[in-house]
Amino acid sequence: MVEYRDGSVIAQLGPPDMRVPIANCLAWPERMGGRARLDFGQLSTLTFEPPDSERFPALRLARQALLAGSGTPTVLNAANEIAVHEFIAGRLGFLGIAALVEATIEAAQGRGITREPDDVDAAVAIDHDSRSLARSLLPEIAAKAI
């Protein structure tokens, strides 16, 4: 769901079936047919609970990056892309994804990498420096997050 400044919310809803997003990825940019449909007649209520930041540390990290502002969201994105790539390659455990992102943000803050970029080149430099930093932290994080 996306909430806009005016308070309106747009939601993407679908049946609780991972075949739908997998089919979306496989057919992109087209859409595959033949999947189960969400039956609003059968859907009597939607229940929402506050997100659990302990169970889902990436949510906590994303919120912290947004609050910190400046280049921190760029650092988060760059570190996340490195972490997910390493996870897919089998060099980082699943729990290591958030751990590598968090370690990269902390190290980037200490090195001044999270500064507000003045222009596109500065933003690209933050991304580049963050990726390099994440790669340098990878062996330590991967050893801890087995």
Cα separation, 46 vs 1, in Å, equals 13
Q: What is the pLDDT of residues 89-124, one digit of tens each?
A: 999 999 999 999 999 999 999 999 999 999 999 999
Looking at residue 140, which CATH number applies to its domain? 1.10.1740.10
The secondary structure of 97-140 as a DSSP string is HHHHHHHHHHHHHHTTTTSPPSSHHHHHHHHHHHHHHHHHHHHH
61 & 39 share domain: no
19 & 80 share domain: no
Cα separation, 66 vs 51, in Å, equals 17
Q: What is the pLDDT of residues 40-50, one digit of tens each?
A: 888 878 888 99
pLDDT of the residue at 146: 63
Residue 35 has pLDDT above 70, yes or no: no
Cα separation, 28 vs 135, in Å, equals 30
Q: Report the percent of the chain where pLDDT is more than 90.
A: 73
Cα separation, 88 vs 109, in Å, equals 27
pLDDT of the residue at 77: 97
- The total number of residues shown for the chain amounts to 146
* Residue-number span of the structural domain to which 131 is assigned: 57-144
99 & 66 share domain: yes
Provide the pLDDT confidence category of residue 59 given band limits of 50, 70 and 90: very high
37 & 96 share domain: no
Supply the DSSP symbol for 134.
H
More confident call, 33 vs 1: 1
3 & 39 share domain: yes
69 & 125 share domain: yes
What pTM was computed for the model? 0.74
77 & 28 share domain: no
Candidate from 41-50, 71-80, 121-130 with smallest mean pLDDT: 41-50
38 & 67 share domain: no
